[in-house]
Structure formats: C-alpha cells, structure tokens
Structure 1
Amino acid sequence: MERFLRVVGMDGKRFSDLEKQLLSIDVQPLWISESESGLEVGILSTQKAQEILKAMQLPFEELSSHTIDWDAQWASFAKGVAHEGVYEIEFSKLEIEAEGSFFLKAGPGFGDLSHPTTQLMMNLMVRYCRGNYCIDIGSGSGILTVAAMKLGASRVEACDIDEQAVVHTRENIALNHFEGKASVHLPEEMWKAVTASPPASPVILINMIESEQRQALPWNYLKKLPAFTLIASGLLKEDTRSYCNWIQSFGPRLQSTVDSGEWSALIFEFAAAKDNLESSESGFERL
C-alpha cells in the first residue's frame, strides 16, 4: 500500500525550493492546492523525501493511499460543477475568452485548477491551439490536453513520467470523447511516435517549475521538428531570466510574457528549429 506526504503552509518561493529538492530524488508533486494558509502539496512518501521536509522545516503528515479521497480533494479546489466525481469546467467562468466546457474526472494527476498557472496557460492557449497540432508535456490530469482539443486543436499528443497520471489523462480523454484525436503515453514512447513523422509546426505546452522544465524538454527530439511554438508556464517571476537565458541558447525568439501574481508564462517561437538546435546540440549538457 502506497503512502503519501501532505505538506502545508508554503508560499510560491518555498514551493519552488521544495520542488527543486524533490526533483533531485525523482519525486514529483501528486497534487497542489491553495488555501488561506498557503500552498498544500502531496508527494509520495519516501525516507529521502521526509529528510528533505525536515531539513526545510516544513510541516507534513503521512497518509495511506486509502486515506486520500480524490473526490474530496478536487471538491475543495476544482473550479467546476461536480456531477458524481466528474467536474464540468466552463471556460467563461474561468474568465477565458472561449465558449463551451469540458469534463474532468477527479484523480491523482496534477491539474484541478487549484493552481493559477493552469488558468494562465489556458488563457494563452485560446490564441494558439485552434487548427494546430499540440504536444502536452507533463499532462497530469489531462486538463491541458482536453482543453486544447476543446479550443480547436487538430490533434494532441500528451506524455507524463507518472503512470498514474497517464491513466488519469487517458480517462479524461475518453470522458470527453477525444479518443483517436488525442493520446497519452510515457515520454520516450510519445516522442518516438511524434518525431517518426514530425508535424510541421506544433504548439508545445508545458506547465512546470523551471528546474523540472530543464529535465522535461527533450532537445534531442525537438531538434527533429522543423519549427514549433513553446508555451511555458509554472515559472516564478524571479526564475524567468535564467529560464530565458537557457531557452535562448537553443535559438528561439521570445514573443511575449504574461504574469499572474508571482507566476509567469512565456511564449517562444522556434523558426527553422532544426538548424538552431543542431548548432546548440550540446547546450543542454553544458547548462
């Protein structure tokens, strides 16, 4: 039986510091929620994770897998109308300039709209998804995959390193009847399929902190795409300069930056990406 740790009372900076520490031991958040006392984060319980939390003097409690009620967890924070554990998310109620709604089943994947970066991403996706092939890196619950399809994407390929998140995304794809137009896999499997017959100019969606994006963006595969647009969120304002310096070493053009509180989202255009990335092929290792 798996056990989990619930960590409470963090601001964005402490959360970012914690994620960087957890990344070093290959542990990712299972859920993130906001409350009056700050951010609440759930992670898989390991001895190393507990040691990190104690060293950072962060309060936590250990829970069993049977203790976590995903319906209750989502009910506290999900911005939608619930129907027996399924949430109807209306774009207009999120102040997103799009019509219609989509459905999400509660579960372990990140993306219940409790964190402002998810909504920030969707606001930008309105302008970029319609008619385009999209790639969702770190799909979590599948919220961006499903939202992209509802916003008019021609196809979405998604991936996540967490097998539970892959299952959760797949369930929400089916719930919204997008089988055949959207799919989800573990990263290596997805990228091999995408680059076997590269789309002309896909839109890449990624909503993670900077340190995770450095691990998740696969330049060895991206260099095989002729061009692409990258929409990156989950970045603290204080991290955007170092992130831009890293990304720009591979030859992109920064198009715009959008802020929401202490968080930022950036849009990059990669024209003739193959030439740019081949000239910087070893850049990832250097940085």
Structure 2
Amino acid sequence: MKWSEICIHTTNEAVEPISNILHEIGASGVVIEDALDLLKEYDTTFGEIYELNPNDYPEEGVFVKAYLPVNSFLGETVEEIKQAISGLIKYDIDIGRNNVTISEVNEQEWATAWKKYYKPVKISKRVTIIPTWEEYEPVDSDEIILELDPGMAFGTGTHPTTILSLQALEQYINKEDIVLDVGSGSGVLSIAAALFGAKQIYAFDLDEIAVKSTTINAKLNKVEGKIIAKQNDLLKKVDVNADVIVSNILAEIIVRFTDEAFALLKEGGTFITSGIIQTKKEEVREKLKSSGFEIIETNQMEDWIAFVAKKPISN
C-alpha cells in the first residue's frame, strides 16, 4: 500500500490540537519533530534516548506529520485537515506558519523507521517509560517501569505536559486513592496512578481509539483490574467522588470543567492540570480559583505549565 505523508509546520502550542485533528480524520500515525528537541540535554544514563537528524527538523517551530493511505479521497481529506487546523484560530490557538506539504512514503519504511525515536526514558524520580520492543533492566530497586506500545502515535509519555503530570501524580497520589483521568489518551497517566498505588482509576476520553489504547496499555502493565476506561465527554454525567483528578489537556478545555472537578473531588482532594501553554496560564489560574480551588503548586517545563490545586476542607 502507498501512503501519503502530510506535514504541518506549526507551533508548539498547536501540536496537541493538530495531532487530535489528524487522529480523528483517520491518520495511521503521527510524528512530532520539534526544533527545540535539538537543543535539549538528554539524560544518557540508559544510552541515547533519541537519534536525531537535524535535517529532519525545522529551523523553528514544529513539524507534525501524519500518514494517510493514497486513495481517491485523499484530496478531500487533506482539505478537511486544513480547514480544521485553520479553525483553531477561533480558540485563540497560535498555529504559526501553518504550511502544509504532502509527499509519498513506502509503508514498510514508515512502519519501522519511526521506532528509532522511541527509547527508554526516565521521566521522574521513580518512573521510566519503555516501548514494548526495548529490553530494559531497572537501575533502582524501587523503580517503576511503565511499558507502552504507542502504535504509530509517536512521543507517548515524553512530552513536557505528560512529564509534569506524572511528576505531580508521583508526589500527590496516596495508597487506595480514587482517581479520575480526564482526556486519558494512551492511558499513561491512568497506568502511572495504578502503579503508584491508587485503588481505582476511571479513564475518560471522547475518542473511542483512545479508550481502546488505554485498555491495551493497561493490560501490558498488568493493571487492567484497576482501570475502567470509558468514552465520555469530560466529566459530564460522572458521579464518582475522587481523591485525585488529573487532566493533561488543552487550557481551553480545562476551563470548561473546573466546576465539575471541584464538585466531584472529596474535601482535601487534588486537581492536577497540565497541557497549559504559557500564554494561557493566568486564564486557567483564575478559573481554578473562581471554582473554589486553592493553587498549591505551579510547575513549568519549557513553555508548558501545570497546576496542582486543592479543594479546601470546610471548617
């Protein structure tokens, strides 16, 4: 089969919404090539994490690449993608250059070449994420190994927003906690919560593919008994009282359900929000406060912000 690679030159802020658009349109894979990755100093304790070729990267901004089968509908599909990306402007998302190019690739080349980017990576004090095809021996006795099969969704677990979320979960989850993961994606946060000792995790995502991905990855990590993955629109019609709610999602989405999160959290409960670009920091902060939360931590990695907020205990 012949495949077409569609490449969008955009901004770091727009990576997640554009990736979501591509998955929803039926893309068989997404690769993210961020110019900032070339400047990072990686921890090479476990060997090289990435094998990066500067020629693959833009001088500035980000390439988001997706793979679509070459068929008679390709032209229409590409136009739908362009329109959907342009529509992000109305949500005040900076899409940058928004240059779109198309090229043809061989299926076998794509199916194997992308794996070179994905190696074991230590993302917090105790957590190391490894792809299923890599062999890895734990370095520390208390190290938590989170095994993922990202399929063709490159980058799972290594984006700053995910790392910020995982680091907060590691710090604030207690044994026997009930956790809600809003916008679960591949299930990495739900799985981490289970490995940290949470009693029950409810993983919600509007995308049916994400729900299946969470289920598959939960089984890989032998925590499927702790995770209930469901297709759901944020926290609508959810009636589970939680100790922790975590959401690594766009700022524009977070502000839509802070009231519901406050209502579902137990007193003293923790709300971890990530996926917030620097320019949206104050908007999310004010919305959390207006919903009744007390912000106890504000963490940053690159241009991304994560808040840790508490529901006060009434006197």
The one-letter amino acid paired with 2:218 is I
Partners of 1:147 and 1:69 lie apart in 2 by: 29
CA deviation vs aligned residue, 1:266-286 (integer Å, no higher than 9, x gap): 11112369xxxxxxxxxxxxx
**1:131-157 deviation line (CA, Å, top 9, x unaligned):** 122111111111111111112222211
Give the corresponding residue for 2:218.
Answer: 173
Question: Which of 82, 91, 101 is residue 145 of structure 2 equivalent to?
Answer: 101
In structure 2, do the counterparts of structure 1 residues 108 and 263 end up closer, same or farther at CA, with 3 Å as the change threshold? Answer: same
Matched, 1:47 2:87: no
Q: Which has the higher helix share?
A: 1
Instruction: Give the secondary-structure state (helix, strand or coil) at the position aligned to 2:222.
Output: coil
Q: Is the 8 A contact 2:132 2:149 kept in 1?
A: no
Runs of at least 5 residues in structure 2 that lack an aligned partner in the other structure: 36-57, 69-76, 87-94, 122-129
Unaligned runs of 5+ in 1: 93-97, 274-287
Contact persistence 2:195–2:223 (CA under 8 A):
no
Matches within 5 A, 1:1-287: 6-13=6-13, 15=14, 19=17, 31=30, 33-36=32-35, 37=58, 38-41=61-64, 45=77, 47-51=79-83, 53=85, 57-61=98-102, 69=110, 72-77=113-118, 79-80=120-121, 81-84=130-133, 99-107=143-151, 112-131=156-175, 132-187=177-232, 192=237, 195=239, 198-199=240-241, 201-215=242-256, 217=257, 219-220=259-260, 223-227=263-267, 228-271=269-312
Q: Distance in 2 between matches of 1:264 and 1:120?
A: 8
Q: Contact 1:88/1:102 (CA < 8 Å) preserved in 2?
A: no
**Residue matched to 1:278:** none
The answer to whether the 8 Å contact 1:87/1:105 transfers is no
Aligned-residue offset at 1:178? 1.1
Could you state the TM-score of these two structures normalised by the residue count of structure 2? Answer: 0.66
* Structure with bigger gyration radius: 2
C-alpha offsets along residues 52-72 of structure 1, whole Å, 9 cap, x if unaligned? 5579542243789x7895664
Matched residues in 2 for 1:181 and 1:256: separation? 28
Q: Secondary structure at the match of 1:12?
A: coil
- Cα distance in 2 for partners of 1:88, 1:221 equals 38
Question: Residues 83 and 251 from structure 1, CA distance in 2 versus in 1: closer, same or farther, beyond 3 angstroms?
Answer: closer
Assess if the C-alpha contact under 8 Å between 1:237 and 1:263 holds in 2. yes
Residue 277 of structure 1 aligns with which residue? Answer: none
Moved more, 160-169 or 103-112: 103-112
Separation (CA, whole Å) in 1 of partners of 2:120 and 2:291: 37
Q: Give the drift of 1:129.
A: 1.8
